[in-house]
Structure 1
Amino acid sequence: MNKPLAYLREILSNYTDRSDTAEYIFKKIEQGHFPTEESFVRSLSDEENNFLNSILPEEIKHANNEQDETRAKQLNEVYELLF
């Protein structure tokens, strides 16, 4: 699994207990064989895309506040592809 998707899977684990969409995306990452973030993003439904659009800005901000530039960069790579 590539790094951006590994970071995404990690943050999604914080949402799976309260969101079916998060759980579905989490499982998609775990079970999927996505060579790139782009191939993963292309597999998303509109609902999944909207969910990630709603959580990633805050998660990227949190990573920046924690001075975790690597995590922020990896999550931002996925976020930029959602548009």
Structure 2
Amino acid sequence: MDFTLSYVKESLSNWIDENETAYRIYEKLEDHYYENEEQFAIALDEEEKQYLSELLAVELDYAKQEADHVRIAQLNEMYEQLY
């Protein structure tokens, strides 16, 4: 089972109080079922893709500091779908 979108949603939850774009992306995950990260990436507009790319870079750095290899792999899967 692929948990990529669950990791993305959890990462976004840390930012939804501070950023409207994070909240909007989080709501897409809450309100819709996406079969995989590719389908989710297609549903994002350019502003959302750019924001999520920046957020994932921060979250990946944190995961690397914590040596959380599973989280790194999952978040990287989403990051790759943005381009």
In structure 1, the residue matched to 2:44 is 44
The 5-angstrom pairing of residues 1-83 of structure 1 reads: 2-83=2-83
Cα shift readout 1:20-56 (whole Å, capped 9, x = no counterpart): 1100100101111101100000000011001011111
SS at match of 1:17: coil
Q: TM-score, normalised by structure 2?
A: 0.94
Q: TM-score, normalised by structure 1?
A: 0.94
SS at match of 1:34: coil
How far, CA to CA, are the matches of 1:46 and 1:79 in structure 2? 14
Structure 1 gaps of 5+ residues are none
Show structure 1 runs of 4+ deviating over 4 A: none
Structure 2 gaps of 5+ residues are none
How far, CA to CA, are the matches of 2:77 and 2:32 in structure 1? 18
